[in-house]
Amino acid sequence: MKINRHARILDLIGRYEIGTQEELADYLNKEGFRVTQATISRDIRQLHLTKVPGPGGRQRYAVLEKEEESRMDEKYLRVLKAGFVSMDSAGNLLVIKTVSGMAMAVAAAIDAMKWPQVAGCIAGDDTIFIAIHTEEETAAVMDKIRGATEGME
């Protein structure tokens, strides 16, 4: 039950501007979870939630990004940026061309970033094939890569 509740909390704070424990409890109770303030407080700690400013200055809950993970993501993005040459898509496959000899490093960086849309990567010397779960998600991954490489294509 706790795993389902935690998943629901993450979904709710992603969709709604929830700023208090009482609001979160109301949403969960409407969803069929019977929770107390103590349960909500414990869940917030376990999920590493924090309050961030929302539109209009109202505080809302969000997942606290761990500093360590953020630094690792920056390293992976630097590898992606350093090796990236171009990309093209074919359905749910993404083909990335890299600097010669960099494909394995760039593919490893993409895998390490754990983007939920990416099923996996296969790399050669200067080419990577990335399997995306759905054709629709290919555009989202391309946007992430474009953002990371800042229009180098």
pTM, entire model? 0.54
Q: Which CATH number fits domain 2-63: 3.30.750.24, 1.10.10.10, 3.30.420.10, 1.20.200.10?
A: 1.10.10.10
Question: What pLDDT score does 113 carry?
Answer: 83
* 32-80 tens-digit pLDDT: 999 999 999 999 988 888 888 877 778 899 887 655 456 667 788 888 9
pLDDT higher at 75 or 28: 28
Most confident of 7-16, 61-70, 125-134: 125-134
Dihedral of alpha carbons 76, 134, 97, 81, sign: negative
Residues 6+ apart with CB under 8 A from 81: 148, 149, 150, 152
Q: Which CATH number fits domain 67-149: 2.60.40.10, 3.30.1360.40, 3.40.50.10160, 4.10.520.10?
A: 3.30.1360.40
pLDDT higher at 69 or 9: 9
Question: What pLDDT score does 69 carry?
Answer: 55
